[in-house]
Amino acid sequence: MSFERLVTLPHLAALESAVLSASRALLATYPEVGREFCDGEPVEVTVTRALVEDCDHLLATLDDYRSHLVVERPRNPDQLGWPF
């Protein structure tokens, strides 16, 4: 694995962690987001629902990007964890 990929993977892990934390915080703050859309809901709930969906999309994109970066299988069982 090249040096550039080793540097990139920790950054992706940190970004993924931040996005996941933000999404969980939004869901904890606005539990209504998990329910179906209703006509009388506040605008902030609608915006939060869109933001959580964007977080989910970003997490999927990061996972896809990471799978393109990691082309070699780890040779040692110790290398199965985080790359840093």
**What 3-state DSSP class applies to 67?**
helix
**pLDDT of amino acid 52:** 96
CA distances from 37 to 20, 27, 46 (A): 23, 15, 8
**What 3-state DSSP class applies to 17?**
helix
Domain positions in the chain:
3-70
Q: What is the pLDDT of residues 9-42, one digit of tens each?
A: 888 899 999 999 999 999 999 999 988 888 888 9
Give the containing element (helix H, strand E) for 54. helix 43-69
Residue 2 pLDDT more than 60?
no
Query: What Rg, from alpha-carbon coordinates, does the chain have?
Result: 17
Q: What is the pLDDT of residues 38-56, one digit of tens each?
A: 888 899 999 999 999 999 9
